[in-house]
């Protein structure tokens, strides 16, 4: 599907859904009250045309599995599912509000043969993502500690293709597996931001 049609399709799918405010009983509030540090409810989105730019700078095959760490209401997950040949597009989101919105959108997406789209409601650091090959995270507000944990978790994956992030990993990460990197200016809901792709 052409990127312009994708942008319009996503706009239609997410009409009247508002991920910027959380329900009063959202899981985030319970976690916050328990003084956990890995979860941040701050929300923003990379825009569909920026996602297309990232997709055009990836080599994506039919056996790739895309995983969005902290997917919000799932727009990037949906775009990778519709626009790329990945066999699976998976989003992981802690917020019950945003997770429920993502699941609601799935009701209006017809699954394609030999392709899967799904969501998990959890802290992504606690989820087994060893089958993933392409990872994305709108990591702008994550702490260096969380970024370090993400890097170490993903380095356990044997079949990594790429990692895309909006906040870079700390310098004390082991980058020995990285074959190359590329930076881009991308449009986001809050402003222009810098995305970085790590290639493996």
pLDDT at 39 (0 to 100): 55
Burial class (CB in 10 A: 0-12, 13-18, 19+), 5: exposed
Check residue 38 and give its pLDDT. Answer: 54
Task: Domain count for the chain, please give it.
Answer: 1
> For residue range 7-64, what is the model confidence (pLDDT) as tens digits?
899 999 998 887 777 777 787 776 655 545 555 556 789 999 999 999 999 999 999 9
Query: CATH no. for residue 181?
Result: 3.40.50.150
Q: What is the pLDDT of residue 130?
A: 96
Range of the domain at 60: 3-199
Q: What pLDDT was estimated at residue 126? A: 96
E strand intervals along 134-178:
134-137, 162-165
20 vs 41: CA distance, rounded Å: 9
- The pLDDT averaged over each successive group of 10 residues in the chain (200 residues) is 82 85 74 54 84 97 97 96 97 94 93 90 96 96 95 96 97 98 93 96
Greatest alpha-carbon pair distance for the chain in Å reads 45
């Amino acid at each position: 599907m052409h990127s312009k049609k994708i942008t319009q399709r996503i706009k239609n799918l997410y009409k009247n859904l508002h991920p910027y405010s959380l329900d009063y009983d959202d899981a985030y509030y319970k976690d916050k009250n328990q003084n956990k540090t890995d979860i941040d409810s701050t929300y923003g989105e990379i825009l569909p045309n920026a996602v297309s730019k990232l997709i055009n700078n990836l080599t994506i095959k039919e056996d790739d599995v895309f995983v969005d760490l902290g997917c919000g209401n799932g727009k990037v997950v949906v775009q990778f599912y519709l626009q790329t040949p990945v066999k699976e597009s998976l989003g992981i989101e802690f917020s019950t509000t945003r997770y429920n919105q993502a699941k609601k959108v799935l009701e209006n997406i017809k699954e394609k043969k030999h392709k899967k789209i799904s969501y998990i409601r959890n802290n992504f650091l606690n989820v087994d993502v060893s089958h993933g090959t392409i990872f994305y995270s709108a990591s702008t507000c994550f702490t260096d500690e969380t970024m370090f944990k993400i890097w170490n978790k993903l380095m356990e994956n044997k079949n990594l293709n790429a990692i895309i992030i909006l906040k870079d990993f700390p310098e004390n990460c082991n980058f020995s597996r990285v074959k190359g990197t590329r930076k881009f200016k991308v449009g986001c809901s809050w402003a222009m931001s810098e995305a970085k792709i790590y290639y493996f």
